[in-house]
Amino acid sequence: MIQIYHNPRCGKSRNCLAFIEQSNQEFEIIPYLTETPSFEELKKLLKQLNLEPIQLVRTKEKVWIENFKGKTLNDDQIVSAMIENPILIERPIVVKDGKAIIGRDPEVVASFLD
């Protein structure tokens, strides 16, 4: 089953969800802002995405700039920052068959779902 870590206030996330709905595949919506992944879940997502924690951070978010920019943080501290402030997590994340992508580009999502 497909999972989408979704922020309904984000246009890219809404577009990705609409694309998944049109694929006629079974999916689950994870509203990560209110159902924040645990530390272990986020580490697993990072592994599935094949990304370092900082690569999943929305570094232009106000909370990042005000609280974390310019600080030296290790990977676990970055993951913790995303859990404490889920708005920092890049979106949308699409998971299928143990792999994941950031679904901002419809063409990438299309090939991932095939």
By annotation, the residues acting in catalysis are 10
Which of 11-17's residues contact partners 24+ apart within 8 Å by CB, and which partners?
A: 12/91, 12/92, 12/103, 12/104, 13/91, 13/92, 13/103, 15/106, 16/92, 16/94, 16/103, 16/104, 16/106, 16/109, 17/92
Structure tokens at 71: 């600080």
